[in-house]
Amino acid sequence: MLLDTPLCDFGWQAPDFTLQDAYGKSFTMGEHLGDKGLLIAFICNHCPYVQRIGERLAKDTKRLMAEGVNVLAIMSNDYHMYEQDSPDNMKAFSKQYGFTFPYLIDEDQTIGQQYNATCTPDFFGFNKNGELQYRGRLDDIRMENTSNRVPELVNAMGMIAKTGHGPKEQFPSMGCSIKWRD
């Protein structure tokens, strides 16, 4: 089912968390909130929308990280019901697309719920103070000529890195619903 995310709640304070990646290494959000901000991407392996942007996501996040923006990805789906999203498959998915950011497991789905993550992909851009400044998609798909254009997400995170504030006009993410446990 295709879903759109809510609009950005500018200034919403990101709740801190500690999650593990598929290898068992722990990552804390607060430790990744750098001087240039933090991008948190809710993604999963089996979503066709995430699969479609996988290579772009890897490329764009490498660019952002080179500019000092930190990146974390979170998988909140119930992987017991969706085996494709299991930790072992997360390892393979990360390798397939060349992800260089931590890809974390939200085992009890608490973080996805605290962030009101709606779909995959769902992007949250925070300034250095942990204040939400972007909630949107990788690109504004309404743009006709995208060949020489910097992607929406990269523009937004660049603006946050420089000014601490995101763009006023944002386009909601759209994708597959997060698969919550009953």
The 10s digit of each residue's pLDDT in 92-135 is 999 999 999 999 999 999 999 999 999 999 999 999 999 999 99
Dump pLDDT digits (tens) for 24-83.
999 999 999 999 999 999 999 999 999 999 999 999 999 999 999 999 999 999 999 999
Residue 135 pairs with which residues in a beta bridge? 124
DSSP 83: G
Given this structure, which CATH class describes domain 2-177? alpha beta
Contact (CB, 8 A) for 74 and 106: yes
- Given a cut of 50, is residue 10 above it in pLDDT? yes
pTM recorded for the entire structure: 0.92
Give the model's pLDDT for residue 143: 46
Place of tokens 């446990």: 181
- Number of residues assigned to the chain: 182
Give the model's pLDDT for residue 42: 97
* Spans of all domains in the chain: 2-177
